[in-house]
Amino acid sequence: MTEPVVGPPHGEDAVLVGVQSALTGRTGVLTTARAMSHFGEHSLGWLALSAAGALAQPRRRRAWLAAGAGTFAAHAAAVLIKRVVRRERPHHPAIAVNVATPSRLSFPSAHATSTTAAAMLLGRAAGLPGWLLPAVLVPPMALSRLVLGVHYPSDVAAGVAVGATVAAVTSRLDGDGR
Protein backbone atom coordinates (compact mmCIF):
# COMPACT_ATOMS: atom_id res chain seq x y z
CA MET A 1 0.00 0.00 0.00
CA THR A 2 1.40 3.40 -0.90
CA GLU A 3 1.31 6.47 1.28
CA PRO A 4 -0.77 9.39 0.02
CA VAL A 5 1.23 12.16 -1.58
CA VAL A 6 1.41 15.19 0.69
CA GLY A 7 1.88 18.53 -1.01
CA PRO A 8 3.54 21.63 0.33
CA PRO A 9 2.02 23.10 3.48
CA HIS A 10 -0.87 25.53 3.08
CA GLY A 11 -2.75 27.84 5.42
CA GLU A 12 -1.89 27.43 9.07
CA ASP A 13 0.54 24.62 8.27
CA ALA A 14 2.49 27.06 6.11
CA VAL A 15 2.49 29.62 8.94
CA LEU A 16 3.93 27.04 11.33
CA VAL A 17 6.63 26.04 8.85
CA GLY A 18 7.50 29.71 8.40
CA VAL A 19 7.72 30.37 12.14
CA GLN A 20 9.82 27.28 12.68
CA SER A 21 12.11 28.10 9.74
CA ALA A 22 12.65 31.63 11.05
CA LEU A 23 13.22 30.80 14.72
CA THR A 24 14.15 27.23 15.61
CA GLY A 25 17.73 27.50 14.39
CA ARG A 26 18.46 30.47 16.65
CA THR A 27 20.47 29.80 19.77
CA GLY A 28 18.31 29.11 22.80
CA VAL A 29 14.92 29.30 21.08
CA LEU A 30 14.00 25.62 21.34
CA THR A 31 15.43 25.31 24.84
CA THR A 32 13.45 28.33 26.00
CA ALA A 33 10.26 27.17 24.26
CA ARG A 34 10.55 23.73 25.88
CA ALA A 35 11.18 25.27 29.31
CA MET A 36 8.10 27.46 28.89
CA SER A 37 6.11 24.41 27.84
CA HIS A 38 7.13 22.48 30.95
CA PHE A 39 6.46 25.49 33.22
CA GLY A 40 2.97 25.94 31.77
CA GLU A 41 2.02 22.25 31.62
CA HIS A 42 -1.38 21.82 33.30
CA SER A 43 -0.87 25.46 34.49
CA LEU A 44 1.31 24.14 37.35
CA GLY A 45 3.94 26.89 37.17
CA TRP A 46 1.27 29.59 37.31
CA LEU A 47 -0.47 27.83 40.19
CA ALA A 48 2.82 27.68 42.10
CA LEU A 49 3.32 31.43 41.58
CA SER A 50 -0.20 32.09 42.84
CA ALA A 51 0.46 30.04 45.96
CA ALA A 52 3.79 31.76 46.55
CA GLY A 53 2.13 35.16 46.25
CA ALA A 54 -0.57 34.15 48.72
CA LEU A 55 2.11 33.12 51.22
CA ALA A 56 4.32 36.14 50.64
CA GLN A 57 1.55 38.76 50.77
CA PRO A 58 -1.04 37.75 53.36
CA ARG A 59 -2.89 41.05 52.99
CA ARG A 60 -3.47 40.30 49.31
CA ARG A 61 -4.02 36.58 49.83
CA ARG A 62 -7.54 36.63 48.40
CA ALA A 63 -6.34 38.16 45.11
CA TRP A 64 -3.49 35.65 44.83
CA LEU A 65 -5.83 32.74 45.52
CA ALA A 66 -8.32 34.12 42.99
CA ALA A 67 -5.44 34.23 40.48
CA GLY A 68 -4.77 30.56 41.11
CA ALA A 69 -8.44 29.65 40.93
CA GLY A 70 -8.95 31.62 37.72
CA THR A 71 -5.86 30.11 36.14
CA PHE A 72 -7.03 26.61 37.04
CA ALA A 73 -10.53 27.38 35.70
CA ALA A 74 -9.02 28.65 32.44
CA HIS A 75 -6.99 25.46 32.04
CA ALA A 76 -10.08 23.35 32.80
CA ALA A 77 -12.10 25.32 30.24
CA ALA A 78 -9.44 24.71 27.59
CA VAL A 79 -9.41 20.98 28.33
CA LEU A 80 -13.21 20.83 28.13
CA ILE A 81 -13.27 22.73 24.83
CA LYS A 82 -10.55 20.42 23.45
CA ARG A 83 -12.69 17.39 24.24
CA VAL A 84 -15.70 18.90 22.50
CA VAL A 85 -13.90 20.24 19.40
CA ARG A 86 -11.45 17.31 19.04
CA ARG A 87 -9.14 19.10 16.57
CA GLU A 88 -5.90 17.15 16.14
CA ARG A 89 -2.51 18.77 16.56
CA PRO A 90 -0.51 19.80 13.49
CA HIS A 91 0.75 16.75 11.62
CA HIS A 92 2.03 17.94 8.23
CA PRO A 93 5.41 16.28 7.59
CA ALA A 94 7.07 19.69 7.13
CA ILE A 95 6.18 20.68 10.73
CA ALA A 96 8.66 19.60 13.39
CA VAL A 97 7.09 18.59 16.69
CA ASN A 98 9.68 19.66 19.24
CA VAL A 99 8.08 18.62 22.55
CA ALA A 100 5.90 15.80 23.87
CA THR A 101 2.24 16.57 24.55
CA PRO A 102 -0.24 14.97 26.95
CA SER A 103 -2.87 14.52 24.23
CA ARG A 104 -3.38 14.72 20.48
CA LEU A 105 -5.96 17.48 20.88
CA SER A 106 -5.06 20.98 19.78
CA PHE A 107 -7.92 23.52 20.02
CA PRO A 108 -7.56 25.70 22.01
CA SER A 109 -4.02 25.87 23.33
CA ALA A 110 -4.29 25.24 27.07
CA HIS A 111 -0.88 26.88 27.54
CA ALA A 112 -2.07 30.09 25.86
CA THR A 113 -5.34 29.91 27.82
CA SER A 114 -3.81 29.47 31.26
CA THR A 115 -0.93 31.87 30.59
CA THR A 116 -3.32 34.64 29.54
CA ALA A 117 -5.54 34.12 32.58
CA ALA A 118 -2.51 33.89 34.87
CA ALA A 119 -0.87 37.00 33.45
CA MET A 120 -4.01 39.06 33.89
CA LEU A 121 -4.83 37.72 37.36
CA LEU A 122 -1.28 37.60 38.76
CA GLY A 123 -0.72 41.17 37.60
CA ARG A 124 -3.93 42.20 39.35
CA ALA A 125 -2.88 40.38 42.54
CA ALA A 126 0.53 42.05 42.46
CA GLY A 127 -1.03 45.49 41.91
CA LEU A 128 0.63 45.96 38.51
CA PRO A 129 -0.87 47.85 35.57
CA GLY A 130 -3.38 45.56 33.87
CA TRP A 131 -1.53 45.43 30.55
CA LEU A 132 1.98 44.75 31.89
CA LEU A 133 2.13 41.01 32.60
CA PRO A 134 -0.06 40.03 29.63
CA ALA A 135 2.20 42.06 27.32
CA VAL A 136 5.32 40.41 28.74
CA LEU A 137 4.12 36.82 29.21
CA VAL A 138 1.47 36.01 26.61
CA PRO A 139 3.31 36.65 23.31
CA PRO A 140 6.33 34.46 24.20
CA MET A 141 4.13 31.58 25.40
CA ALA A 142 1.90 31.88 22.33
CA LEU A 143 4.89 31.93 20.00
CA SER A 144 6.49 28.99 21.82
CA ARG A 145 3.49 26.80 20.94
CA LEU A 146 4.12 27.51 17.25
CA VAL A 147 7.88 27.05 17.51
CA LEU A 148 7.28 23.69 19.16
CA GLY A 149 4.90 22.71 16.36
CA VAL A 150 2.11 21.61 18.71
CA HIS A 151 -0.57 24.19 17.88
CA TYR A 152 -1.99 26.06 14.94
CA PRO A 153 -2.08 29.87 15.20
CA SER A 154 -5.88 29.73 15.59
CA ASP A 155 -5.48 27.36 18.57
CA VAL A 156 -3.27 29.93 20.25
CA ALA A 157 -5.53 32.88 19.41
CA ALA A 158 -8.56 31.02 20.75
CA GLY A 159 -6.62 30.13 23.91
CA VAL A 160 -5.75 33.79 24.50
CA ALA A 161 -9.44 34.73 24.07
CA VAL A 162 -10.65 32.00 26.44
CA GLY A 163 -8.00 32.88 29.02
CA ALA A 164 -8.87 36.58 28.89
CA THR A 165 -12.55 35.79 29.27
CA VAL A 166 -12.01 33.53 32.27
CA ALA A 167 -9.72 36.14 33.87
CA ALA A 168 -12.32 38.87 33.36
CA VAL A 169 -15.05 36.71 34.92
CA THR A 170 -12.77 35.78 37.81
CA SER A 171 -11.90 39.44 38.45
CA ARG A 172 -15.56 40.42 38.37
CA LEU A 173 -16.54 37.63 40.76
CA ASP A 174 -13.68 38.49 43.12
CA GLY A 175 -14.57 42.17 43.21
CA ASP A 176 -11.70 44.24 44.55
CA GLY A 177 -9.73 41.16 45.65
CA ARG A 178 -9.32 42.17 49.26
Residue 176: predicted pLDDT: 62
Residue 111: predicted pLDDT: 96
* CA gap 27, 162 in Å, rounded: 32
Residue 160: predicted pLDDT: 98
Residue 2: predicted pLDDT: 54
Query: Does the CA dihedral 67-104-108-145 come out positive or negative?
Result: positive
Residue 12: predicted pLDDT: 94
For the chain of 178 residues, list the mean pLDDT of each consecutive stretch of 10: 70 94 94 95 95 96 96 97 96 90 93 97 94 96 96 97 97 77
Nearest to 120 by CA among 53, 155, 165, 154: 165
Number of Cβ within a 10 Å radius of residue 113: 35
* CA gap 140, 160 in Å, rounded: 12
* CA gap 71, 11 in Å, rounded: 31
CB 117 within 8 A of CB 133: no
Describe the chain by its helix, strand, coil percentages, rounded to 5.
Answer: 70, 0, 30
* CA gap 60, 122 in Å, rounded: 11
Residue 11: predicted pLDDT: 92
